[in-house]
């Protein structure tokens, strides 16, 4: 290491996962070309790395907020590029970070140009998922299990149910840092092959549990959902009272997978999937976007969620390059249907170049990974830079929407 070269993360090397940092290097030679690197390991032990080449200015400084990458994992001015471009050596790897108690640890380093063995400086960035004073409590109800995150302070706070396809705490814990009581509940707590039906009553139990929390002040509950969680969120809004706001991200307007039951009777059938329409690619990952049948045909209308009977508000978010499903078409269909019924209780947002896996910002972009339900690798879609920008925009948009529609009475 070079004693005069300094690598700094501003405002601090310790921050929340969804906060940007300014990466600066000082003490280089005038116009020196260096390679910046980032490296992190996920919870499964898979190493992800990125690199970019920069030229110092006349005073020997590099500032990622200002300076363009000349080559590497990305080019151009991308202040957080080293984070979103983190990538595993092996194909089809998703950066697995679900435990809220463990920070996302990233090592940033600066090296002589294209010389990994010649490190000039290094700094560790601890990106926390759970902020000061936020409590995390595992919860087991009669028919649901999840994790409850509660902000510090007396409240009252708005209540949000975070529906993820499989157990994950990342989005819920980060949202709780912003002043929401959030209950993270997976759609599948058992292996999907063992699940023959979805019981909406189980999720209603989770909604009721949330409303009973002492720090909750909103008269209703909000829901955040993506993919499989999104059609369950629509069903709750349509059939269960007390759902005031639903964030639907890259899902379907119909039920996918298994039929939905409520109060001991089937209320929704499933939209069939045609595996003959799966497109195999040379990478070994498939495009499954075209597999689902048309939701609005007569034979499939029993799978369409009747959101027109919902009392709450919707924020529909779709990616134009979602290769998992045609989420933009489903969003447009729902918007048209609500308009047809004289409803104005919705907003739509489309990110034309983003892919399926829209998540809280500044995590590694994932182009392809093993699909948890169909058990083979799929392409998720998205242009990395545009996808990363969409995540930043969406994260704020979502919070603003939930705050608007989950008003709390003053304590």
Active site residue: 18, 231, 321, 322, which one?
322
Active site residue: 92, 202, 356, 405, which one?
356
322 flagged as catalytic: yes
Q: Name the residue among 106, 127, 123, 125 with its Cα closest to residue 7.
A: 123
Cα–Cα dist 343/335, whole Å:
9
**Tokens 């840092």 belong to residue:** 177
Residue 46 corresponds to which tokens in the numbers above? 């898979």
Q: Name the residue among 205, 139, 216, 138 with its Cα closest to residue 181.
A: 216
How distant, in Å, are the alpha carbons of 39, 55, 61, 115, 118 from that of 34?
Answer: 16, 6, 11, 9, 10
Active site residue: 109, 164, 218, 227, which one?
227
Residue 192 corresponds to which tokens in the numbers above? 């999907």
Residue 209 corresponds to which tokens in the numbers above? 């549990």
Q: Name the residue among 114, 132, 95 with its Cα closest to residue 53.
A: 114
Q: Name the residue among 250, 247, 256, 252 with its Cα closest to residue 274.
A: 256
Catalytic residues: 227, 322, 356
């Amino acid at each position: 290491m070079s004693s005069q070269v300094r690598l700094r993360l501003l405002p601090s090397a310790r921050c929340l996962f969804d906060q940007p940092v300014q990466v600066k290097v000082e003490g280089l030679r005038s116009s020196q070309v260096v390679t910046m690197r980032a490296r992190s390991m996920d919870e499964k032990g898979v190493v992800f790395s990125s690199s970019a080449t920069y030229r110092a200015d006349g005073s020997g400084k590099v500032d990622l907020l200002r300076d363009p990458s000349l080559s590497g994992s990305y080019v151009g001015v991308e202040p957080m590029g080293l984070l979103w471009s983190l990538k595993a050596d092996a194909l089809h790897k998703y950066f697995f970070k679900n435990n809220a108690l463990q920070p996302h640890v990233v090592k940033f380093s600066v090296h002589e140009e294209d010389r990994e063995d010649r490190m000039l400086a290094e700094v560790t960035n601890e990106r926390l998922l759970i902020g000061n004073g936020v409590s995390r409590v595992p919860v087991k109800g009669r028919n649901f299990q999840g994790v409850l995150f509660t902000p510090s302070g007396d409240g009252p706070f708005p209540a949000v149910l975070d529906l993820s396809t499989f157990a994950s705490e990342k989005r819920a814990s980060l949202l709780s840092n912003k002043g929401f009581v959030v209950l993270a509940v997976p759609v599948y707590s058992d292996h999907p092959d063992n699940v023959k039906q979805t019981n909406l009553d189980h999720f209603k139990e989770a909604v009721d549990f949330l409303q009973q929390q002492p720090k909750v002040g909103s008269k209703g509950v909000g829901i955040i959902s993506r993919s499989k969680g999104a059609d369950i969120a629509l069903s709750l809004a349509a059939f269960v009272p007390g759902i005031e706001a639903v964030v639907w991200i890259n899902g379907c307007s119909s039920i996918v997978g298994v039929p939905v039951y409520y109060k001991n009777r089937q209320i929704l059938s499933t939209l069939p999937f045609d595996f003959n329409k799966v497109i195999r690619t040379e990478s070994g990952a498939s495009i499954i976007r075209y597999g689902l049948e048309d939701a609005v045909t007569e034979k499939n209308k029993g799978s369409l969620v009747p959101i027109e009977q919902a009392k709450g508000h919707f924020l529909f978010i779709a990616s134009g390059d979602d290769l998992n499903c045609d989420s933009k078409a489903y969003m447009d269909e729902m918007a048209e249907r609500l308009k047809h019924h004289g409803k104005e209780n919705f907003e739509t947002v489309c990110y034309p170049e983003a892919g399926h896996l829209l998540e809280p910002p500044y995590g590694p972009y994932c182009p392809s990974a093993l699909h948890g339900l169909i058990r083979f690798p799929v392409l998720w879609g998205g242009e990395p830079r545009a996808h990363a920008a969409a995540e930043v925009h969406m994260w704020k948009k979502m919070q603003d929407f939930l705050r608007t529609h989950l008003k709390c009475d003053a304590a």
